[in-house]
Structure 1
């Protein structure tokens, strides 16, 4: 019996993405991380540890 490998949760080979510091700086300059207030989680969703 042959096993079907269509399960996306099964671990497969890991491809490591290596980038030099210069390539990283160029990437961040081209794709800046933009902080947006509406993307913050609401106060009601933040988890609080019991004291």
Structure 2
């Protein structure tokens, strides 16, 4: 469970950086960025195991 929490926190941090770093992008870009970051975090999670 701790590994999940760390990975989820990493994903949340990256999404927050995206949202606050580029606030003027359209909502679809926010969704796309969240999906791409989620895939990246899943790859990291797979490599950790």
- TM-score, normalising length from structure 1? 0.25
Instruction: Name which one, 1 or 2, has greater alpha-carbon Rg.
Output: 1
Q: Which has the higher contact order (CA 8 A, sep 6+)?
A: 2
Alignment TM-score, normalising by the size of structure 2: 0.26
